[in-house]
């Protein structure tokens, strides 16, 4: 069986070969952790965004959208805390000249202890067979106990160092744990330094005093500074939400794992403004709603889990991640945070403007509390890609690579194929394209054998292939072939629209979410 790492490599190669994701400016050897979406990638990405946007805007009469600029007044980032505190602790290895995140090196060390414990358990499970009691074994086996104790001590030290923002202690942990650089294999480390993740640039010409501005590291602040504009002009009443999709930029130190951690990425965020004191109820509500949204896609419920935060950011009073099982383990795809009144309160302070909400029901003004749901489009894209990617052996020794996308998200919904390039079949196929193209993204393919054409469509995840043959000209029927089952069905041309619509219409998923 191929290792997870191999599967991931194949997935990355597939994304490039089939026009989903290209390295940015590839002819110049690319740019670190920046990627471009190709012809199929952009369709998938747009469908993901539509699925999110409509689930917010259509399903909730109290949620509206905005589209704020990427540049914001620099004081915004002072107020939000990003200028002073949006840092990662970095450390360099002097021999390899490679840079790492100190916290990530330590987290990997923690994972190593877990791996060792798991290995001991797996060995014992093999030895004892069915009677093996994992919990009992972990409690009594001396070696497992030793690893668990080392892990717990390290964990406690690590959390304390992070909370105290103690960079010397982080370095000391790396030294004490004898962590080596994976490239040079040495322990020749520099001190740990804080590194701000915001990109900055200058606005205006330098001669008349340019202003340092930042590329936004999150879209949320555009919503906070506009919340009162929207509330007043939209006559919104609390509780209400504002949704936004847009680019965000972070100068990530360790950019790895393809589009999982990028320097330019896209977020879909919704800030929900509530009355103080009700925020934890709403937090639970959004936590449940967001998981339902993910699960409705049908990628497998077991692939999702919540990860509640132990260490809360200074502005939060509850936070959880929705994690998805990627080829490299369970990873955060979305964060749901109860951000209190931190951001609005801070903007009020820094701007000197009163941005309180007047609640007509209680005749009082207050600063609303905020629940935020924040998901990365690119991470969502990667989760869909990895769940969909499938290599299958077929009868007769043949094999195929198929992307089993949820049909609603598939870049192309149907491919129309005349069996041969003559006898009026292409014309008939074009007629069918014209029938479908107003509602569904369709493609047309008349080259090579039908088998080859099916493979090409499987590789980009097209749910339906429609073949026009000589019989079609006589009886008005075509063959529709289903991607996952490869089953073929003879149907009337007039039925095509409803067969496709039934599978690709987002309405069906939305009904599942709200029921």
Strands 414-418, 442-444: parallel, antiparallel or unpaired by DSSP?
parallel
Q: Is 241 in the site for ligand ATP (CB under 6 A)?
A: no
Between residues 334 and 469, which has the closer beta carbon with respect to ligand ATP?
Answer: 334
Cα separation, 279 vs 342, whole angstroms: 13
| Stretch near ligand ATP under the rule CB under 6 A, chosen from 112-120, 258-266, 406-414, 431-439 | 258-266
Which of 171, 216, 250, 287 touches ligand ATP by CB under 6 A?
250
Q: Which of 328, 301, 332, 300 shows the shortest CA–CA distance to 319?
A: 332
Kind plus residue range of the DSSP H or E element containing 402: strand 399-403
Between residues 218 and 458, which has the closer beta carbon with respect to ligand ATP?
Answer: 218
Least separation in angstroms between CB 319 and ligand ATP:
8
Between residues 155 and 441, which has the closer beta carbon with respect to ligand ATP?
Answer: 155
Q: Are 91 and 189 in contact (CB under 8 A)?
A: yes
- Nearest residue to ligand ATP, scored by beta-carbon proximity: 376
| Stretch near ligand ATP under the rule CB under 6 A, chosen from 21-29, 135-143, 326-334, 409-417 | 326-334
Least separation in angstroms between CB 373 and ligand ATP:
9
Q: Is 294 in the site for ligand ATP (CB under 6 A)?
A: no
Structural tokens at position 496: 């095509």
Least separation in angstroms between CB 235 and ligand ATP:
30
Burial tier of 174 (Cβ tally within 10 Å: 0-12, 13-18, 19+): buried
Cα separation, 98 vs 91, whole angstroms: 9
Least separation in angstroms between CB 490 and ligand ATP:
44
Q: Is 304 in the site for ligand ATP (CB under 6 A)?
A: no
Least separation in angstroms between CB 183 and ligand ATP:
22
Which of 244, 267, 338, 457 touches ligand ATP by CB under 6 A?
267
Between residues 341 and 378, which has the closer beta carbon with respect to ligand ATP?
Answer: 378
Please give the sequence-ordered ranges of beta strands (E in DSSP) within 404-494, or none if there are none.
Answer: 414-418, 442-444, 464-468, 477-482, 488-492
Name the β-bridge partners of 478.
Answer: 491
Token pair 């414990």 is found at 117
Q: What is the DSSP string of 475-494?
A: H-EEEEEETTT--EEEEEHH
Find the binding residues for ligand ATP in span 174-233 (CB under 6 A).
218
Which of 332, 348, 446, 484 touches ligand ATP by CB under 6 A?
332
Q: Is 36 in the site for ligand ATP (CB under 6 A)?
A: no
Find the binding residues for ligand ATP in span 422-461 (CB under 6 A).
none
Between residues 320 and 479, which has the closer beta carbon with respect to ligand ATP?
Answer: 320
Between residues 52 and 240, which has the closer beta carbon with respect to ligand ATP?
Answer: 52
Find the binding residues for ligand ATP in span 64-123 (CB under 6 A).
none
The backbone torsions φ and ψ at residue 346, rounded to the nearest 5 degrees and listed phi first, read: -70, -40
Cβ neighbours of residue 207 under 8 Å, at least 6 residues apart? none
| Stretch near ligand ATP under the rule CB under 6 A, chosen from 168-176, 260-268, 286-294, 483-491 | 260-268
Which of 376, 406, 426, 461 touches ligand ATP by CB under 6 A?
376
Q: Is 378 in the site for ligand ATP (CB under 6 A)?
A: yes
Q: Is 270 in the site for ligand ATP (CB under 6 A)?
A: no
Q: Are 245 and 266 in contact (CB under 8 A)?
A: yes
Q: Is 265 in the site for ligand ATP (CB under 6 A)?
A: yes
Q: Which of 239, 248, 249 shows the shortest CA–CA distance to 286?
A: 239
Q: Is 151 in the site for ligand ATP (CB under 6 A)?
A: no
Q: Are 59 and 70 in contact (CB under 8 A)?
A: no
Which of 14, 45, 157, 261 touches ligand ATP by CB under 6 A?
261
| Stretch near ligand ATP under the rule CB under 6 A, chosen from 171-179, 295-303, 368-376, 474-482 | 368-376
Cβ neighbours of residue 484 under 8 Å, at least 6 residues apart? 402, 404, 463
Q: Are 304 and 291 in contact (CB under 8 A)?
A: yes
Strands 63-65, 240-249: parallel, antiparallel or unpaired by DSSP?
parallel
Q: Are 184 and 96 in contact (CB under 8 A)?
A: yes
Q: Is 262 in the site for ligand ATP (CB under 6 A)?
A: yes
| Stretch near ligand ATP under the rule CB under 6 A, chosen from 144-152, 199-207, 223-231, 374-382 | 374-382
Angle among Cα 437, 438, 441 to the nearest 5 degrees reads 50
Q: Are 369 and 275 in contact (CB under 8 A)?
A: yes
Q: Which of 251, 236, 204 shows the shortest CA–CA distance to 87?
A: 251
Between residues 87 and 96, which has the closer beta carbon with respect to ligand ATP?
Answer: 87
Q: Are 415 and 445 in contact (CB under 8 A)?
A: yes
Between residues 333 and 442, which has the closer beta carbon with respect to ligand ATP?
Answer: 333
| Stretch near ligand ATP under the rule CB under 6 A, chosen from 177-185, 207-215, 329-337, 459-467 | 329-337
Q: Name the site residues for ligand ATP (rule: CB under 6 A).
A: 218, 250, 252, 261-262, 265, 267, 332-335, 374-376, 378-379
């Amino acid at each position: 069986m191929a290792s997870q790492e191999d599967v991931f490599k194949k997935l990355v190669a597939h994304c490039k070969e089939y026009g989903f994701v290209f390295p940015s400016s590839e002819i110049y050897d690319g740019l670190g952790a920046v990627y471009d979406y190709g012809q199929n990638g952009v369709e998938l990405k747009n469908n993901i965004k539509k699925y999110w946007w409509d689930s917010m805007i259509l399903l909730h009469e109290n949620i509206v959208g905005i589209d704020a600029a990427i540049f914001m007044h620099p004081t915004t980032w002072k107020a939000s805390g990003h200028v002073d505190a949006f840092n990662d602790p970095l450390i360099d290895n002097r021999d390899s000249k490679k840079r790492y995140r100190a916290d990530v090196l330590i987290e990997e060390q923690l994972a190593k202890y877990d791996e060792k414990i798991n290995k001991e358990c797996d060995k014992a499970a093999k030895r004892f067979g069915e009677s093996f009691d994992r919990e009992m074994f972990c409690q009594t086996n001396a070696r497992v106990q030793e690893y668990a104790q080392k892990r717990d001590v390290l964990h406690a030290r690590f959390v304390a160092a992070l909370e105290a923002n103690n960079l010397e202690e982080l370095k000391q942990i790396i030294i004490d744990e004898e962590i080596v650089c994976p490239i040079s294999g040495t322990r020749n480390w520099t001190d740990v330094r804080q590194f701000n993740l915001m990109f900055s640039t200058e606005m205006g010409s330098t001669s008349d005093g340019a202003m340092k501005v930042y590329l936004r590291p999150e879209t949320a602040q555009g919503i906070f500074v506009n919340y009162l504009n929207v509330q007043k002009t939209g006559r919104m009443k609390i509780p209400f939400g504002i949704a936004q999709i847009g680019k965000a930029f972070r100068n990530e130190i360790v950019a790895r794992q393809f589009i999982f951690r990028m320097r330019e990425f896209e977020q879909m965020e919704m800030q929900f403004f509530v009355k103080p004191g009700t925020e934890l109820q709403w937090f639970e509500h959004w936590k449940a709603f967001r998981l339902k949204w993910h699960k409705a896609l049908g990628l497998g419920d077991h692939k999702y889990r919540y990860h509640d935060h132990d260490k809360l950011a200074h502005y939060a009073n509850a936070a959880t991640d929705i994690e998805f099982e990627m080829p490299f383990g369970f990873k955060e795809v979305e964060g749901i945070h109860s951000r209190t009144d931190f951001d609005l309160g801070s903007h009020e302070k820094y701007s000197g403007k009163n941005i309180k909400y007047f609640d007509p029901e209680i005749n009082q003004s207050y600063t609303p509390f905020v629940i935020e749901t924040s998901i990365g489009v690119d991470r969502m894209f990667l989760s869909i890609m990895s769940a969909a990617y499938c290599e299958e052996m077929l009868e007769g020794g043949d094999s195929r690579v198929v992307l089993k996308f949820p049909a609603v998200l598939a870049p192309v919904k149907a491919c129309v194929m005349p069996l041969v390039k003559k006898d009026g079949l292409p014309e008939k196929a074009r007629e069918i394209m014209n029938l479908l193209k107003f509602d569904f993204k369709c493609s047309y393919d008349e080259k090579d054998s039908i088998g080859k054409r099916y493979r090409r469509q499987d590789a980009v995840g097209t749910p339906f292939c429609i073949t026009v043959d000589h019989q079609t000209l006589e009886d008005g029927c075509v063959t529709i072939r289903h991607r996952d089952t490869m089953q073929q069905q003879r149907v009337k041309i007039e039925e095509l629209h409803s067969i496709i619509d039934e599978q690709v219409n987002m309405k069906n998923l939305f009904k599942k979410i709200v029921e």
